Structure 1
């Protein structure tokens, strides 16, 4: 290996290391997302994703992967909090898979225990889309081979075409990483955000105002139309029986 090539590899590795903080959750570093303008929303998708705007984002850091069963179990053992609903499932409960079967409140309690919080929709979208507002974490186009864990072509059943009939390991699909190296921001499991569901502009319908929280990212049984970085799903925050819903945490800048 030439000295020039070796130097380039060393610079690349040290640059990646500098962008990550080991953080308070073992085996799940926090990845730095820098401050700056970013694209939020879109004008050519579902009504609840409109309008497209350019916002001035604050710096934050986000878990590299979804929270795993192993990581959630450590939290349960340390605090006495209730276990995830699928903790003992033979497939969904595997140590390296993202935890599922957790309510919004369970996810909040986990993040809070570590001095973190759930990401806002804006934080999720900036981490997933990058600074230029891509439709997918890996770029603007889905392509013939989608580097994510998702389901059948029509909603909503899982399949094993991507190698996993249900959840995949939280560090799988490295080729689908975001601009800053965050994994599985689409596919694998839906992810709780901190936000109440409401239109970006205008007012929510009275019967739904304040009732739902927002999930992002699609999951192992989602069809491809749910895998974009802008798709929003309103969900009951008390429901803890979803086999396809998990979360990750963020540390916001002071």
Structure 2
């Protein structure tokens, strides 16, 4: 048998280690939604909140998070249509739009209750704000899923520099396919947690613990992540958008689901 050199053995070990680390970083299972696996987010400490942005993002704290799993992408039109066909639930408002209604694009034109019903049908739930931030910011509290470098047209589907106009310099005049912008993925490999579409969370709009008082508490649900027509101010992992939960005509609002640990 041919003897392997030390360099050859080292190379083989390096490849094996890389494969092991890659598998750990992308831990997932197929989940109940066809074509949209659940990416596992481990338990542990993470940074929540932001002291440098709007008052409703304060205070910045380090929390102890529980393990959960989150959809790799936003829920697509095709996945939502399958839910509608199975349940008789009303279709998304933009289901027949020539761009917004494309099968592989994120579903838009859904109210909070529509999104909640979809997740519940599959035994899942809308993410809490804390779950969203942990998935999007990692453990160190990054400004973006990819780190702290400013957003650009290779990492996120976003709008112009002034709110709130579309900008096709990223290749898309409106929504992009849900599996686009892989270079903007999170540490665990979750896509488009910033940009493409705003995402419903399960939480009511309210001050954070220790934060300043706010108006309209309990009347709105929170959207996160910015969208295809968001300017840089709104395109971050900490920005909180209070929104009427019954409004289903937004062309830039979608969602994804989570499964919490038992």
TM bracket (short chain): over 0.9
Q: Which residue of 2 aligns with 1:56?
A: 64
Rounded Cα–Cα distance in structure 2 between residues aligned with 1:137 and 1:236: 26
**1:195 and 2:203 matched:** yes
Unaligned runs of 5+ in 1: none
Q: Which residue of 1 aligns with 2:92?
A: 84
Q: 2:156 aligns with which of 148, 156, 164?
A: 148
**1:183 and 2:194 matched:** no
> Would the alpha carbon gap of residues 202 and 44 (structure 1) be closer, same or farther in structure 2, given more than 3 Å must change?
closer
TM-score, length basis structure 1? 0.95
Q: CA RMSD in A?
A: 1.5
- The runs of 4+ residues in structure 1 deviating greater than 4 Å are 143-146
Q: 2:223 aligns with which of 205, 212, 215?
A: 215
Rounded Cα–Cα distance in structure 2 between residues aligned with 1:215 and 1:172: 21
Q: Which residue of 1 aligns with 2:179?
A: 171
Rounded Cα–Cα distance in structure 2 between residues aligned with 1:6 and 1:228: 35
More displaced stretch, 183-192 vs 5-14: 5-14
Report how many aligned residue pairs link the two structures: 251
Q: Which residue of 2 aligns with 1:7?
A: 16
Rounded Cα–Cα distance in structure 1 between residues aligned with 2:232 and 2:212: 29
Unaligned runs of 5+ in 2: 1-7
Question: 1:225: Cα distance to partner?
Answer: 1.3
Rounded Cα–Cα distance in structure 1 between residues aligned with 2:13 and 2:128: 42
Larger Rg: 2
Question: 1:5: Cα distance to partner?
Answer: 5.2
**1:229 and 2:262 matched:** no
**1:133 and 2:145 matched:** no
> Would the alpha carbon gap of residues 26 and 144 (structure 1) be closer, same or farther in structure 2, given more than 3 Å must change?
closer
Give 3-state SS (helix, strand or coil) of 2:169's partner: coil
